[in-house]
């Protein structure tokens, strides 16, 4: 009986060839960000389809800006994006570690080890590392929190700005911290970032409260309000538009006038409701009718229109207000409270500043060019993420590759207790961890192998109780105690790197069949003649 073709117009790759191609794609992606790691990392110039440029060495920014077609490369980019969302740092490390795990797995496959055995060994290694973290971590005091924020900015911006942004990030995190049923909560999304072109990077500063580039509906409204109640409306205070299929038959000269008077009466009733509720501050997502400006001003209400939904959400979280669909449905329980609402003019632009009891802060990112402002914004977001993590989970690990070397040394001893071929996978996992110190040395112009051996020897022969803190000081170009040098990073970053990179590598290892469907040329929408 002849074989009947099932897969038509499909290219199929199976077995080792499929695995080899997938690993090659992962290594190519890692090579794109390899030189950005560490204080001596290099920058990348990104150019989009419209010719706009961006200079950065932020790994996830580079990867997300690139046009990648290979599905395995996209999987690693997703791991990096998840790392950025959860830990805000370690995105390059996640990609490098995942690619190194795959490369080491390929070496084992060539020796006859089945990918399933490798996957089990990698799982064993990850679990062992998680259990060993407790012996490597130390509590973060305020000074170490600042050092961790500076470490997260190493190589991304010049040293003066690292110090400046780290301090602002710590202050911003303290401004938004709160205590709930789940413990300490510091949500970095509660810090608003405004960008301003002009001046130098060091002019960037932090403002307590929420700042919006908005002006009052009319200047006669109060410029400064002290403690009061705020109403947030998802709609507006406007005349309702008629439906497109409705026609108005005007039978006399007074009909249209009475119709308009009735509309104004409805709007006046909404203003009266705000006054009865004691509202002194109003923010609407939609517009406010011109006829209502003076009425609101006479009532002593400071009103703002065209406020974005994201800013309304920030106001709701800071003031405790409930976002209503319209003014007519507002109740006292929907109102929030604020400490102060004021208007200030910065560089010719009016800004609205709201101080709330629940805290909040706004970072003003400044720079001489749009590119400089963008880099300041990205760097501050990274430092803020680290600062917030340390308020929620104040545990640190030594940086400079010290943690990875300590974990690798531990795994090699632990591998001796594991029977079967999984032992080889655990050792391969340990080897992959050392890619971080090797790349750090490589980017600093040092010999990666010799430098790694020196640091490993220092850790192994040291009699100190904190020998695991010895890592690579790329400034001094040799082994040093990273804790004393102030090169530290949050536990959450390294833990997420291990989890995300391992999961991405295992997902690739499980693939033994790749099917590429051939696509016929398509006609763009709107050009098909229909």
- Residue 505 phi/psi, 5° resolution? -65, -40
Give dist(CA 240, CA 253) in Å, integer: 22
Q: Measuring CA to CA, how many Å separate 250 from each of 242, 253, 254, 262?
A: 15, 8, 9, 15
The rounded radius of gyration (Å) of the Cα atoms in the chain is 29
Residue 307 near residue 230 (C-beta atoms within 8 A): no
DSSP structure string for 493-509: HHHHHHHHHHHHHHHHH
Give dist(CA 245, CA 117) in Å, integer: 69
- Point out the catalytic residue in the list 91, 356, 403, 502: 91
Kind of pairing between the strands at 210-212 and 349-355:
antiparallel
Strand, coil or helix: 180: strand
Residue 14 bridge partners (DSSP): 513
Residue 91 a catalytic site member: yes
DSSP H or E segment with residue 69: none
DSSP H or E segment with residue 164: helix 159-176
- Point out the catalytic residue in the list 92, 137, 280, 356: 92
Give dist(CA 88, CA 381) in Å, integer: 8
Q: Which residue has the tokens 């072109």?
A: 197
Angle at CA of residue 452, ends 431 and 57, nearest 5°:
85
Residue 291 a catalytic site member: no
Compute the 3-state secondary structure of the chain and give helix, strand, coil in percent, each to the nearest 5. Answer: 50, 20, 30
Give dist(CA 248, CA 255) in Å, integer: 10
Angle at CA of residue 70, ends 123 and 517, nearest 5°:
110
Residue 382 a catalytic site member: yes
- Point out the catalytic residue in the list 89, 355, 382, 473: 382
Residue 231 near residue 274 (C-beta atoms within 8 A): yes
Residue 101 near residue 119 (C-beta atoms within 8 A): no
Give dist(CA 204, CA 199) in Å, integer: 9
DSSP 8-state assignment for residue 475: T
Q: Which residue has the tokens 């509202």?
A: 279
- Point out the catalytic residue in the list 36, 58, 356, 403: 58
Give dist(CA 37, CA 43) in Å, integer: 10
Across 322-380, the runs of DSSP E, i.e. the strands, are 336-338, 340-346, 349-355, 361-367
Catalytic amino acids?
58, 91-92, 382
């Amino acid at each position: 009986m002849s074989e009947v073709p099932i897969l038509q117009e499909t290219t199929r790759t199976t077995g080792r060839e499929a695995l080899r191609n997938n690993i090659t794609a992962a290594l190519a992606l890692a090579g794109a960000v390899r030189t950005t790691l560490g204080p001596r990392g290099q920058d990348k110039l990104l150019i989009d389809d419209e010719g706009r440029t961006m200079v950065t060495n932020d790994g996830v920014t580079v990867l997300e800006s690139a046009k990648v077609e290979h599905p395995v490369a996209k999987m690693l980019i997703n791991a990096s994006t998840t790392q950025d969302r959860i830990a805000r740092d370690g995105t390059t490390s996640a990609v490098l570690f995942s690619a190194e795990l795959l490369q080491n797995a390929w070496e084992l496959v060539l020796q006859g080890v089945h990918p399933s055995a490798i996957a089990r060994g990698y799982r064993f290694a990850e679990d062992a590392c998680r259990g060993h973290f407790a012996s490597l971590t130390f509590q973060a005091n305020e000074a170490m929190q600042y050092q961790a924020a500076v470490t997260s900015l190493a190589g991304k911006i010049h040293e003066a700005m690292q110090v400046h942004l780290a301090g602002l990030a710590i202050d911003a995190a303290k401004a938004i911290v709160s205590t709930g049923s789940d413990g300490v909560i510091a949500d970095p999304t509660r810090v608003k970032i405004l960008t301003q072109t002009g001046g130098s990077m060091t002019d960037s500063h932090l403002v307590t409260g929420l700042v919006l580039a908005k002006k009052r509906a009319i200047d006669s409204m109060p410029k400064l309000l002290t403690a009061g109640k705020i109403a947030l409306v998802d709609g507006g205070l406007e005349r309702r538009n008629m439906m497109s299929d409705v026609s108005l038959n005007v039978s006399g000269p007074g009909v249209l006038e009475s119709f308009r008077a009735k509309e104004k009466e409805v709007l006046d009733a909404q203003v009266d409701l705000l006054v009865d509720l004691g509202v002194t501050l109003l923010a609407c997502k939609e517009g406010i009718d011109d006829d209502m400006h003076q009425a609101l001003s006479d009532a002593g209400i400071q009103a703002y229109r065209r406020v974005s939904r994201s800013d309304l959400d920030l106001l709701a979280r800071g003031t405790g207000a409930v976002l209503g669909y319209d003014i007519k449905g507002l109740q006292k329980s929907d109102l929030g409270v604020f400490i102060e609402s004021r208007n200030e003019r910065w560089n010719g632009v009016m800004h609205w500043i709201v101080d709330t009891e629940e805290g909040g802060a706004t970072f003003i990112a400044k720079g001489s060019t749009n590119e400089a402002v963008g880099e300041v914004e990205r760097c501050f977001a990274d430092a803020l993420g680290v600062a917030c993590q340390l308020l929620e989970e104040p545990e640190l690990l030594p940086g400079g590759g010290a943690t990875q070397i300590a974990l690798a040394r531990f795994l090699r001893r632990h591998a001796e207790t594991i029977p079967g071929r999984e032992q080889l996978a655990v050792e391969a996992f340990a080897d992959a961890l050392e890619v971080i110190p090797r790349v750090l040395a490589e980017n600093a112009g040092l010999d990666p192998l010799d430098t790694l051996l020196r640091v490993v020897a220092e850790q192994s022969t040291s009699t100190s109780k904190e020998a695991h803190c010895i890592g690579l000081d790329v400034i001094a170009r040799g082994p040093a105690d990273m804790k004393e040098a102030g090169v530290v990073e949050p536990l959450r970053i390294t833990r997420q790197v291990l989890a995300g990179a391992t999961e991405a590598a295992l997902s690739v290892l499980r693939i033994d069949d790749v099917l590429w469907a051939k696509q016929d040329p398509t006609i763009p929408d709107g050009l098909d003649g229909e």
